Amino acid sequence: MHKVAITGTGIFMPSEIITNAELVASFNDYAARQNGLHADEIEAGTREPMAMSSEEFIVKASGIERRYVMEKAGILDPETMHPRLPERGDDEISIMGEIAVDAAKKAMDEAGLTAADIDAVICAASNHERAYPAIAIEVQEALGIKGFAFDMNVACSSATFGIQAAADMIRSGSARAILMVNPEITSGHQEWRDRDCHFIFGDVCTAVVLQRLEDATSANIYEILSTRCLTEFSNNIRNNNGFLRRTREGHMEDRRDMQFRQEGRKVFKQVVPMVADMMLSHLADEGIEPSQLSRLWLHQANKGMNDLIGAKVMGRAPTREEQPNVLQEFANTSSAGSIIAFSRFSQDLPAGSLGVICSFGAGYSAGSVIVRKAD
């Protein structure tokens, strides 16, 4: 069995940003237009008027201040309310493939590896642009990597599940080094017309290089000590836009349930204890006391959730350095969130420092990765 390490990470950030102020102005414009269109029904009491969104609510309820998006104009246009991304031909690289290649090159540079050193590519994300051929195989081809590649989806936990899959393969010898990418174009499945969730998501792509510890030459090496994955079925975060859509009556409708929807409050209440318990039992099984941890790189969905999970795990409120948040800048970037936090806030720790990368979300699903900074 080989020891495994994370030796490189990379982040692709779209060039366009939507602030809460811009988002709320556009949503409120849309809501006012809808209320105008349906003024008679609202007047007659047969329809509820759409309520307005507010910047104060968004920051207080989530901690989110802005988000990166692939295409801003369509999202903010009250007549459109979704990104407009031109369809690409079969001979062009897909959008997910393109942003994955960008993040992957940064991660491979940090690891000091070339395509010839990588044996496999995993594309772990909440949505894939098409069913097949796999986005991972397209990325593999674009980078000139030999070996094999596959896509996997465990919603917001995709990256930690991907790390476990990669680490297990490297540990057992089926690959020496693996590239995992997390292209998250969340703006495509976000429901921008729903006040309850229109502020939640942002677009980004992260990449992680994992390899045998004995081969690692990077300046920032984290040995993976242990991984754990957990799932429990829940309908509280759901999207019904599956491939059987056209087999059903009314499939052409733009139905609400075909975009992201959630029972946010229930998710909050159910997922916080699930994740805290999983992290604590994972640490206990590895003989690690929470007081030994220098850092928690948590999934970036909600600041309140992270504060509660951090306090339950550490037994006290962690400092901002111990539990860095990036969601004020990025919003919820699904599987990429904990990797952004790790990528941005892992260089400064001294050798021997222990930390946990943890993600959680739809499924429900949760993944925990205990790491130690190498000498």
Ligand X SMILES: CC(C)(COP(=O)(O)OP(=O)(O)OC[C@H]1O[C@@H](n2cnc3c(N)ncnc32)[C@H](O)[C@@H]1OP(=O)(O)O)[C@@H](O)C(=O)NCCC(=O)NCCS
What is the nearest approach in angstroms of ligand X to the Cβ of residue 184? Answer: 10
Residue placing its CB nearer to ligand X in the complex, 88 or 265: 265
Per CB under 6 A, 65 contacts ligand X: no
Amino acid letter, residue 40: D
Output the six-digit token pair for 53.
């969104």
Shorter beta-carbon distance to ligand X: residue 81 or 137: 81
- Cα–Cα distance between 353 and 135 in angstroms, integer? 35
Binding test (CB under 6 A) with ligand X, winner from 154, 159, 237, 339: 237
Least distance to ligand X, CB of residue 336, Å: 12
Taking CB under 6 A as the criterion, the residue among 5, 23, 61, 159 binding ligand X is: 61
3-state DSSP call for residue 306?
helix
CA distance linking residue 70 with residue 347, whole number of Å: 28
DSSP string covering 249-300: TTTTS--GGGS-EE-HHHHHHHHHHHHHHHHHHHHHHTT--GGGEEEEEE--
Distance CA 368, CA 297 (A): 10
Cβ proximity of 109 and 8 under 8 Å: yes
Give the x-and-dash track for 16-45 against ligand X (CB under 6 A): ------------------------------
264 binds ligand X (CB under 6 A): yes
Among all chains, which residue has been given the structure tokens 């936990």?
Answer: 157
Strand 120-124: give its sheet, edge to edge: 148-152, 120-124, 177-184, 204-212, 4-12, 222-231, 365-373, 354-361, 293-298
Among 195, 228, 282, 373, binds ligand X (CB under 6 A): 195
C-alpha distance from residue 42 to each of 36, 180, 290 (Å): 9, 50, 55
> Of 92-100, 263-271, 340-348, 350-358, which segment contacts ligand X by CB under 6 A?
263-271
Residue 326 binds ligand X, judged by CB under 6 A: no
* 156, 197, 205, 358: the active-site residue: 156
156 binds ligand X, rule: CB under 6 A: yes
Contact 297, 357 (CB under 8 A): yes
Q: 20-37 vs 55-62: helix axis angle to the nearest 10?
A: 120
CB 301 → ligand X: shortest distance, Å?
3
Distance CA 18, CA 65 (A): 9
Q: Is there binding between residue 160 and ligand X (CB under 6 A)?
A: no
Nearest Cα neighbor of 116 from 211, 213, 206 is 211
Selected binder of ligand X within 83, 361, 363, 367 (CB under 6 A): 361
Q: Which residue lies nearer to ligand X by CB, 261 or 373? A: 261
Select from 362, 370, 371, 374 the one that contacts ligand X (CB under 6 A).
362
- 8 Å CB contact between 159 and 206: yes
- Please check whether residue 127 is in contact with residue 154, taking contact to mean a CB–CB distance below 8 angstroms: no
Report if residue 148 touches ligand X, rule: CB under 6 A: no
* Residue placing its CB nearer to ligand X in the complex, 57 or 148: 57
- Which of 53/227 has CB closer to ligand X? 53
Length of the chain: 375
Return d(Cα 127, Cα 242) in angstroms, integer: 11
Nearer to ligand X, 220 or 333 (CB): 333
Residue the block writes with tokens 């674009």: 142
Query: Using the rule CB under 6 A, which residue among 35, 54, 239, 328 binds ligand X?
Result: 54
Measured N-to-C along each axis, helices 135-143 and 95-111 cross at an angle, to the nearest 10 degrees, of 50
Q: Does 193 bind ligand X (CB under 6 A)?
A: no
Q: Annotated catalytic, 156?
A: yes
DSSP code of 125? -
Give 13 or 156: the residue with its C-beta nearer to ligand X. 156
**Residue 328 is a binding residue for ligand X (CB under 6 A):** no
For the bound state, the minimum distance from the C-beta of residue 19 to ligand X, rounded and expressed in Å, comes to: 14
| In the complex, least distance from residue 60 CB atom to ligand X, rounded to whole angstroms | 8
Instruction: Report if residue 270 touches ligand X, rule: CB under 6 A.
Output: no
Tell me the catalytic residues: 156
* Residues near ligand X, by CB under 6 A: 53-54, 57-58, 61-62, 156, 195-196, 199, 237, 262, 264-265, 267-268, 301-302, 305, 332, 361-362
